[in-house]
Amino acid sequence: MRIESVSVESCRLPPSSPWEDATNKVDGLEWFFVELRTDNGLVGTGISYTVDVGGTAIQALIEDYLAPLVIGRNPLEYEALWQTLQRQSRRLGLGANSMAVAAIDVAVWDLIGKQYKQPLWRLLGGARARIPAYISEIKLTAEDTLDDLLHRVDDYIAQGYHAMKMKIGRDDLDEDIERIRCVKEKLGRGGKLMVDLNQKWTAAEARSKAARLDNLGLTWIEEPMLWNDIASHRALRQAVRTPIALGESLYSKSQFLQYLQSEAVDIVQADIAFVGGITEWVKVAHLAETFGKPVAPHFLMELSLQLLCGVSNGLMLENVIGGSLTELGLLAEPIRVEGAMGVPSERPGHGIVLDMAAIRAHKLTPAVVRSSFKGGSK
């Protein structure tokens, strides 16, 4: 089997409900979809994304630099292919190039599944046939009242959810604590509540503020501080009982290894696109397993569902309100989580069928970026 052609489509569109957290207001999600066609008639679809920034550069990186390198290659040799793409782009550091490599790597894995006529979750190990899901909200606005929040929680519970993550990081920690207490009470004894700071706190703030959260029964505190301050995460982890979750801002297995060896993380949240695709994500998951840590991947619900069911240490599937491919209307066959339980498709490959007309309707171009990008970092 040889790859004969590569094509790339990209789009930019806002989350289907507005996103704001402690450090960002998000105007647009930028998606990349790669199509690899092989000489035996298979078509593999790659999926990658970035939040608000870099999309036109990533699209050019895929089309102009990386796509030509995969023509004539055998997709079953995924490791060699990944190494080629990573080595060729390593002078860019880690980040935009990881997202570009991921777009191709995911398509390669889709082809592997189609060649072997197996869904990815089984091809990667088939550790379980279903995975519990949690609701993830990005709604930290001054206008969002406690009543509004609790009404939404009622709705999630009615859908079968008993696990939920909310953004915190208000200037007044007492406000955060009041909201946490009320949501926790609604979720009940068996409920799980997680909170996400998006790197808002300084190390000094984290020491005092996390201590005040520590008796609230939270399932985890996510990204409390700057992503690269491993020492402060280690110190915080030693100071509080509540588990520390992070990983959406790490881009390689060696960065995860540093956190794991430093005993600075409890829940590993590698994002398939940000670490360069499925090839690297699986290595991160296995690495976490050797340290006895679960994985709860960031975002990309439809794709994460497949991978979580493949590995032995999958914990929970994140269903981000306003950000799944299904909610954004980009799938020809929507993938929904029913009763808070993710069940991966049996279709060979990743099982995700795109709606190309919907994607083209939101085409990413420099003109679109110039008219819609506002720069929402706080």
Q: How far is the CB of 222 from Mg ion (least distance, A)?
A: 5
User: Judged by CB, which is closer to Mg ion: 73, or 165?
Assistant: 165
User: Judged by CB, which is closer to Mg ion: 110, or 222?
Assistant: 222
User: Judged by CB, which is closer to Mg ion: 27, or 196?
Assistant: 196
Q: How far is the CB of 124 from Mg ion (least distance, A)?
A: 24
The two beta strands, 267-268 and 244-246, are parallel
Alpha-carbon distance of 338 to 120, in angstroms, equals 20
Q: How far is the CB of 169 from Mg ion (least distance, A)?
A: 11
Q: How far is the CB of 21 from Mg ion (least distance, A)?
A: 8
Binding to Mg ion by residue 196, rule CB under 5 A? yes
Amino acid residing at 184 = K
Of 103-111, 214-222, 275-283, 363-371, which part binds Mg ion (CB under 5 A)? 214-222
Type and span of the H or E element at 159? none
# of chain residues touching Mg ion (CB under 5 A): 2
DSSP assignment of 301-358, as one string?
HHHHHHHHHHSTTB--EEEETTTSTTTTT-BSS----BTTEE----SSBT---B-HHH
Alpha-carbon distance of 296 to 245, in angstroms, equals 9
User: Judged by CB, which is closer to Mg ion: 176, or 196?
Assistant: 196
User: What's the token pair of residue 47?
Assistant: 């999926």
Q: How far is the CB of 165 from Mg ion (least distance, A)?
A: 8
Q: How far is the CB of 298 from Mg ion (least distance, A)?
A: 6
User: Judged by CB, which is closer to Mg ion: 32, or 274?
Assistant: 274
Tokens 């490959």 sit on residue: 349
304-333 residues in contact with Mg ion (CB under 5 A) are none
Tokens 């450090």 sit on residue: 23
Burial class (CB in 10 A: 0-12, 13-18, 19+), 65: middle
Alpha-carbon distance of 293 to 314, in angstroms, equals 9
Q: How far is the CB of 274 from Mg ion (least distance, A)?
A: 12
Alpha-carbon distance of 175 to 167, in angstroms, equals 12
Alpha-carbon distance of 99 to 117, in angstroms, equals 27
CA distances from residue 270 to 100, 197, 251 in whole angstroms, order as listed: 16, 17, 8
Q: Which residue is nearest to Mg ion (CB)?
A: 196
User: Judged by CB, which is closer to Mg ion: 30, or 196?
Assistant: 196
User: Judged by CB, which is closer to Mg ion: 85, or 273?
Assistant: 273
Q: How far is the CB of 91 from Mg ion (least distance, A)?
A: 29
Please report which residue ranges of the chain form alpha helices under DSSP H. 55-60, 67-70, 78-89, 96-116, 120-123, 146-158, 173-187, 203-213, 230-239, 253-261, 278-290, 301-310, 356-361, 366-372
Q: How far is the CB of 340 from Mg ion (least distance, A)?
A: 19
Residue 51: what are its φ and ψ, rounded to 5°?
-95, 105
Alpha-carbon distance of 62 to 66, in angstroms, equals 5
Q: How far is the CB of 198 from Mg ion (least distance, A)?
A: 6
Any bridge partners for residue 59, and if so which? none
215-274 residues in contact with Mg ion (CB under 5 A) are 222
23-82 residues in contact with Mg ion (CB under 5 A) are none
User: Judged by CB, which is closer to Mg ion: 167, or 350?
Assistant: 167
User: Judged by CB, which is closer to Mg ion: 38, or 255?
Assistant: 255
User: Judged by CB, which is closer to Mg ion: 107, or 180?
Assistant: 180
Of 193-201, 305-313, 340-348, 360-368, which part binds Mg ion (CB under 5 A)? 193-201
Binding to Mg ion by residue 280, rule CB under 5 A? no
Of 4-12, 58-66, 194-202, 275-283, which part binds Mg ion (CB under 5 A)? 194-202
Of 69-77, 196-204, 311-319, 331-339, which part binds Mg ion (CB under 5 A)? 196-204
Of 2-10, 188-196, 275-283, 322-330, which part binds Mg ion (CB under 5 A)? 188-196
Give the binding site for Mg ion (CB under 5 A). Answer: 196, 222
